Amino acid sequence: MDPSQAQSDKSNDINSLGKSEGGAQDQAAPAAASEAPRSEGGVTDATGGGNAAPTSPFQHRSFIRRLWDRLNIYLLLFILVLVVAIGSVISLTIKGKQDAYKIIATQNLTQDELKQLANTDVSVGQPKQILTIQANAVFAGSALIRGDLEVAGTLKLGGDLSLKNLTVNGATKLGDVTASNLTVGSSLNVQGTLTLNSGISVAGQSNFNGGIVASSVITGALQLNGDLRLTHHIIAGGTIPNISKGTAVGGGGTVSLSGSDTAGSVAINTGSSPPAGCFATVTFSEAFANTPHVVVTPIGTASAGLDYYITRSTSNFIICSTNAAPAGESFGFDYVALD
CA–CA dist 64, 52 (Å, integer): 26
Structural domain tally of the chain? 2
Domain end among 12, 38, 68 = 68
128 lies in a domain? no
Domain end among 46, 68, 90 = 68
pLDDT, greater one: 256 or 104? 256
CA–CA dist 37, 45 (Å, integer): 6
219 lies in a domain? no
pTM of the model: 0.43
Name the residue among 258, 323, 335, 339 with its Cα closest to residue 297. 335
Domain end among 49, 68, 87 = 68
198 lies in a domain? no
Q: Residue 298's domain spans which residues?
A: 242-338
Provide the CATH number for the domain around residue 287. Answer: 2.60.40
The pLDDT tens digits for 146-167 are: 778 888 778 887 777 777 777 7
310 lies in a domain? yes
Q: Which H helix or E strand runs over 81?
A: helix 73-100
Question: Is 60 exceeded by the pLDDT of residue 25?
Answer: no
182 lies in a domain? no
The amino acid that residue 241 corresponds to is P
Task: Tell me the mean pLDDT in the region 70-93.
Answer: 82
What integer best gives the mean pLDDT of the chain?
76
For residue 289, what pLDDT band results from cuts at 50, 70 and 90? very high
The pLDDT tens digits for 251-275 are: 999 999 999 999 999 999 999 999 9
231 lies in a domain? no
CA–CA dist 328, 129 (Å, integer): 105
